[in-house]
Amino acid sequence: MAARAALARGLSTSATVAAAFVAVARHEFLPGLGVARAYQDAAVVIKSDADGLPVSASTQPAMMAVMLDQLGVVRGQRVLEIGTGTGYNAALLAHLVGDQRSVVTVEVDGEVAGRARAALAAAGYGGITVLCADGALGAPEQAPFDRIIVTAGAWDIPPAWLAQLAADGRIVLPLSVRGIQLSVALERDGDHWASRSAWRCGFIRVAGAFAGPESVLPLGPQPGLHAHVVDGAAPDAEALYQALSGLAVEVPAGLRVADRAELADLDLWLTVCRPGLSRVNMLGRHEGKASPAQRRIADLMPLGGLCAASAGPFAVAAVGQSASADGDQGPPFAAVVRGYGPGGARLAAGLAGRAAAWDEQGRPGTARLQLTVHPAGTEPAPVDGGLILRRPHALVCAAWPGHVP
């Protein structure tokens, strides 16, 4: 209980959600891990594929707390969870709604679902319904739900999720905005859905029929590091590996950032304002199978980066803090854009110029980004500077009102 209380005290969350973390024992859903590790504020991979990439995990408690606060669950509500994992989050939801029978959780992996069902029963939460099915279909026989929470990264939005929500319902999901995942809370607003909050996050992607058209590129000897490309043309894996293995050109952005969160806001701005570039993220750096050289490459782009892969000299660029900041006593840090490959210097310089516009417009970031979701095939009113993401089942608009990237 002391370890649970210490974890809860360290979370930036509401008193109600913190009480749920105290009440539910995480270590009971992570057998063999040990109490000390179970209550660290860290994600835990529970299953990996043949390439060593995670396919299921227990989410970092801090991110779980953020999403539960976004969800705004109150007692007496009915909740659907997409992505059961260990079952720990479903138990937290049951504590929040006050009735285990009001929580339904869906897991596509039969092995993972079976383990979660057993763990929930052993921990005293056997009243929660665990379904083994494609989460994109939701749980139509148990609908409607007051709240839906998705714990896997979504590229598209399955119609079943929105259809199974009550009229005043809310859904929280990690939505891909050009390869950057944002935990978004959506509610109905007339003929569309509008965001009420957004937080940057990182989840294993949705499996099944609604998985996105991603490319996963091996970088160097395998198993080890991979590049994940969700939005844009996939670069040549060897060209990307060679570019990131070479020297970087560091271009000052001409501004200082308070912390990594503000640097991530700049990264989001650049990704939205340059839709012609491919978004590249790193996978596998924490799985213990990447070589020192591969981990060095992953560290070059901890937030991900942008790649010019289809025209002109091959180039990759990513935001970071100046190497000279290593000797600083603390923030703020000088922001830079580092370029790699034959065209890296030019790409980095162009992105650094865009950084100045971000600074001039008040540094809009994740918290101020507004997203709306419309049915596929519709044409919403244009928004100045807005980015439109056309998916098979939804049209997503992302914009900072009053700001033009």
Q: Can you give the residue ranges of every domain in the chain?
A: 2-200, 221-360
Q: Are 170 and 373 in contact (CB under 8 A)?
A: no
Of residues 215 and 183, the one with the higher pLDDT is 183
Phi-psi region of 286 (alpha: psi -120 to 50; beta: other; left: phi over 0): alpha
| Active-site residue, from 48, 56, 215, 310 | 56
Residue 326's pLDDT is what? 47
Sign of the four-CA dihedral 197, 201, 204, 210: positive
User: Ranked by mean pLDDT, which of 185-199, 292-306, 310-324 comes out on top?
Assistant: 185-199
Residue 89 vs residues 122, 124, 128, 149, 251: alpha-carbon distances, Å: 15, 14, 11, 10, 43
Beta-ladder partners of 229: 215, 280
User: Which helix (H) or strand (E) covers residue 217, if one does?
Assistant: strand 215-219
48-52, 89-93, 222-226: which has the minimum mean pLDDT? Answer: 48-52
Q: Which segment of 179-183, 248-252, 383-387 scores lowest on mean pLDDT?
A: 383-387
Q: What is the pLDDT of residue 132?
A: 97
- Beta partners for 219? 225
pLDDT of 327 above 60: no
Q: Would you call 135 helix, strand, or coil by DSSP?
A: helix
Question: Residue 391: pLDDT band by 50, 70, 90 thresholds?
Answer: very high
Which residue's entry shows tokens 């540094």?
363
Phi/psi for 165 (5° steps) reads: -90, 145
CATH class, domain 2-200, is alpha beta
Strands (E), 83-164: 103-107, 129-132, 145-150
Tens digits of per-residue pLDDT, 337-370?
999 999 999 999 999 999 999 999 999 999 999 9
pLDDT in tens, 33-80: 888 899 999 999 888 777 677 788 899 999 999 999 999 999 999 999
* % of the chain residues with pLDDT over 90: 72
| Closest among 385, 388, 376 to 405, alpha carbons compared | 385
110 beta partners: none
Residue entry with tokens 């001039």: 360
**pLDDT computed for residue 288 by the predictor:** 58
User: What amino acid is encoded at 398 in this protein?
Assistant: A
- Measured CA to CA, the distance from residue 35 to residue 15 in angstroms comes to 23
The pLDDT of residue 142 is above 50: yes
Task: Look at residue 223 and tell me whether its pLDDT is greater than 70.
Answer: yes
Taking a C-beta distance cutoff of 8 angstroms, is the pair 256, 333 a contact?
Answer: yes
Helix, strand, coil percentages, rounded to 5, for the chain:
30, 30, 40
Query: Which range has the worst mean pLDDT, 261-265, 290-294, 314-318?
Result: 290-294
Mean pLDDT (the chain) is 91
Average pLDDT (176-188) is: 96
Q: Angle at CA 213, nearest 5°, toward 207 and 216?
A: 85
Distance CA 81, CA 203 (A): 15
Q: Which of 42-51, 72-81, 192-201, 324-333 is least confident? A: 324-333
pLDDT confidence of residue 330: 60
* Catalytic-residue membership of 102: no
Return the closest-CA partner of residue 198 out of 403, 402, 396: 396
- Residue 7's pLDDT is what? 92
Burial-class residue 282 by CB neighbours within 10 Å (0-12, 13-18, 19+).
buried
Name the β-bridge partners of 129: 104
